[in-house]
Structure 1
Amino acid sequence: MGLVTVLPFTLAYAAANRPLLAFSARVAGDDARTRIVIDFEKKPDFSVHYVTAPERVIVDLPATAFGFPAEDLAARGLFKDIRYGTMDEQSARIVLTAKKPVKLVLAETQPNDNGSFRLVLDAEMTSKDTFANLVRTQSWDMPAPPSPEPLALTEQDNVFTVAVDAGHGGIDAGATGAATKTPEKTITLAFARALAERLGKIDGVKTVLTRDNDTFLSLSERVTLARQGHADLFISLHADTLAQKDIRGATVYTLSDKASDRMAENLAARENLSDELAGYSIQSGPPEVADILLDLTRRETQAFSTALAANVVESFEGQVGLINNPHRYAGFQVLRAPDIPSVLLELGFLSNPEDEKLLLDEAWRQKVIDRLGDAVGRYRERALANGG
């Protein structure tokens, strides 16, 4: 299982052994999904296996000359170390050492326009149990695993699943109450737990919590956990602060590249800094296939997100305080799942004394949760009536 140091590619070595030439490489992604692409002169045969202690993904190749700068395959995203080199005269190996349990959701060769080929590996975070099962059930004699579509949209099932996301957590405390100094992460977690319990009582509905304790999750992790849970809805809960302390009430946000107003734009910019504030560098996620099907999926999802927001506003009106123009929109990273209707709910503002009191009041919290349960139930009934 040892790895031989990378050998320099020379003409004499090429003439004697005729290895494959890997002439370029690139890595893109974050701590939830990471893509590795390596370009080969000819189509490479390859196999993939998983190894524990530490968690690694092993990619075995025929004899290969790696003719690209080492920094082009520098570790990032889900991987803390990437090594590659020759094993013997007939084989080479790439070893991807992960920061956390991972699985490949795509592993395939694809043709380039110039007659060369690229090896595409899409890794996604997974649970320890899933990784252990991959190790336990694999065979070292098997070829590369079957490849799903590059963007595996959420699977259809007979259960209506709601992902409830408690904003912030761990090192990212979020906003702080002006009077009580209560951190936003504590308020959102209490709301998320209670909302999940309430929604779970609706016949045919189950819930998934992105976090159930004081743990930091990156924005990408939150979306990925929702998709892995086959969520049909995603609700992210927050309680921010504003410089204008007189503004109070709930707000429902949906995704848009152009913000509805300056307040929404500033709030989205602040929320999107969550990863950076917690020490995670901002990195672009794995590229997705830009095709007509995906574009239609995004548009349909956005329409459903708007419908969900309308249901929340309708349920709150006359029962729970709302700000003016309570449905707003901006470029929140946590709402970017292309196939899950998603909203971000600002329950109120910790910068406002009255809102802060309500956010910490258990009776008020239950009232809000009941209204949200009504909104989700009504949304689900309308979706089912329309064949959704």
Structure 2
Amino acid sequence: MLRAVFVTGRFGRAMRSFAVLFATFAFMLPSTGHGADGPPPLLAFSARIAGDDARTRLVISFDRKPDYSVHYVSNPVRVIVDLPETSFGLKPESLEPRGLFNEIRYGGMGAGASRLVLSARGPTEITHAEVMPDEDGKGFRLVLDAERIGGARFEKLLREQTWTGTVRATKADRPVAPAKTPGAFIIAVDPGHGGIDTGAIGTASKIEEKQVTLDFARVLVETLSREAGVEAFLTRERDEFLSLPQRVQIARQRNANLFISVHADTLKQKDIRGATVYTISDKASDHLAAELAARENLSDEIAGMPFESEPPEVADILIDLTRRETQAFSINLARSVVSSFEGQIQLINNPHRYAGFRVLQAPDVPSVLLELGFLSNTEDEKLLLDPEWRKKVSGLIASAVQRYRQAAVANGG
């Protein structure tokens, strides 16, 4: 299950006094994109929503005046509100979906930007949007009035908006770092989810998948980089949103020899536990793999991104031939990882599975998606939060990578 980022905070006068301290503290944290001399993030410290299936009003209070822009996305209908970088100090219940909206998410979109995504039950328009100063002069509130509209009107809104579906912070325009050692074996480690896309939520700890994956990926990168001739890097180094195509793009820009995407999902069947290694395929190996791929492929939709079709070159026959060879290498890597895990850590039944994961679609980079375990299972959840377990599993993956690499070299790969 994928949910929004929630940070509990106090309300009323006490919260407004706390807002200044919170914003100051946020400014002192390691940079998440704003410059060292730039302003701290906005603080959204309270919110409320009211309405019915015809009209709904949403009000969010900030410590400073927010700039904002409103956009629309279809299939499904979503209202997107883009904001500057914002720390959301909101109680979860303050923005529980109601009225026109059946799901509300908010969170970071990367350096300098945040986003509110309002999933609507049908065609919806923001008919009035206004930023107003609070009566006591200590903050500002953003007021959004939404109304149900007809399909033709909504299509007109989509046609007339100039928005392209992205924000400045989501562009993968980071500088490309060359390999430190000529001929190094480059591995891209991709912590799943991030920013507004929190991923799954732990059953007992309520920890978010995006944090679990980042914590593990950092250990994995350190472990891999200690191997002779190997250089590993993170696709994201902090809590930021990256679209699925961007993750692939970053790996290709760095000339990665391998791409490992790290996840820790949840299942309705809480007794299922253990690691799984996935590779890409047009046809899923089983129902569980198909469901997981469908959920993971929703990452961009959760962040309010319009669906991006495949780039034209993917359809090219030469790319298709490269993809087939890459898929074979991906399967070899998956088998090596499973072999390394056997007898050492818990594995799911049939631990090598496959489905149509969009994040594994690099035509020229062997790629696997590693499901470390399930946050819906209490035993898996404890292990996922255990630093010693992370070190052990990272070591096993490093051994698997070295065996894969040696076999590829021996076969002329």
Normalising by the residue count of structure 1, what TM-score does the alignment of the two structures yield? Answer: 0.61
Aligned match for 2:339, one of 310, 314, 317:
314
1:126 aligns with 2:176: no
Question: Of residues 302, 305, 309 in structure 2, which corresponds to 1:277?
Answer: 302
Larger radius of gyration: 1
1:186 aligns with 2:186: no
Q: Out of 388, 399, 412, which is 1:363 matched to?
A: 388
Deviations 1:102-146 (CA, angstroms, capped at 9, x unpaired): 7xxxxxxxxxxxxxxxxxxxxxx422x58xxxxxxxxxxxxxxxx
Match of 1:254 in 2: 279
The equivalent residue for 1:331 is 356
1:267 aligns with 2:355: no
Please give the alpha-carbon distance, in whole angstroms, between the structure 2 residues aligned to 1:330 and 1:74. Answer: 35
Per-residue CA distance 1:280-312 (angstroms, 9 max, x = gap): 121213211644422220110000000000000
Contact 2:314–2:320, Cα closer than 8 Å, also in 1 = no
Q: Aligned letter for 2:358?
A: Q
DSSP-derived class of the 1:349 partner: coil
1:342 paired to 2:367 = yes
Letter matched to residue 301 of structure 2: E
The SS at the match of 1:187 is: helix
Separation in structure 2 between the aligned mates of residue 369 and residue 352 of structure 1, nearest angstrom: 21
Q: Distance in 2 between matches of 1:170 and 1:73?
A: 25
Aligned to 2:85: none
Q: 1:365 to 1:221 in 2, by over 3 A?
A: same
What runs of 5+ residues in structure 2 fail to find an aligned partner?
Answer: 1-158, 177-181
CA drift of 1:227 comes to 0.5
Question: 2:229 is matched with which residue?
Answer: 204
C-alpha contact (below 8 Å) 1:208/1:229 kept by paired residues: no
Q: In the alignment, which residue of structure 2 is the partner of 1:173?
A: 198
What residue in structure 2 maps to residue 352 of structure 1? Answer: 377
State the match for 2:242 in structure 1. 217
Percent identical pairs in the alignment equals 64
Matched, 1:300 2:325: yes
Flag structure 1 segments of 5+ consecutive residues without an equivalent: 1-70, 81-98, 103-124, 131-156
Q: Aligned pair in 2 of structure 1 residues 319, 289: CA closer, same or farther (>3 Å)? A: closer
Residue of structure 1 in register with 2:164 after alignment: 76
Aligned residues: 250
1:52-108 deviations in Å (ceiling 9; x for gaps):
xxxxxxxxxxxxxxxxxxx79966366x8xxxxxxxxxxxxxxxxxx4697xxxxxx
The answer to whether the 8 A contact 1:208-1:226 is kept is no
Give the conservation status (yes or no) of the 8 Å contact 2:165–2:304: no
- Counterpart residue type for residue 246 of structure 1: D
Say if 1:218 and 1:275, in contact at 8 Å, map to a contact too. Answer: yes
Change in 2 beyond 3 A, CA 1:73/1:287: farther
The letter for the 1-side match of 2:173 is T
Give the Cα separation in 1 of the matches to 2:403 and 2:359.
Answer: 24
Aligned position for 1:159 = 184
After the TM superposition, which segments of 4 or more aligned residues of structure 1 sit over 3 Å from their partners? 71-75, 99-102, 289-292
Q: Identify the range of structure 1 (157-166 vs 322-331) with the bigger mean alpha-carbon deviation.
A: 157-166
CA distance in 2, matches of 1:346, 1:246: 16
* 1:166–1:192 Cα contact (<8 Å) kept: yes
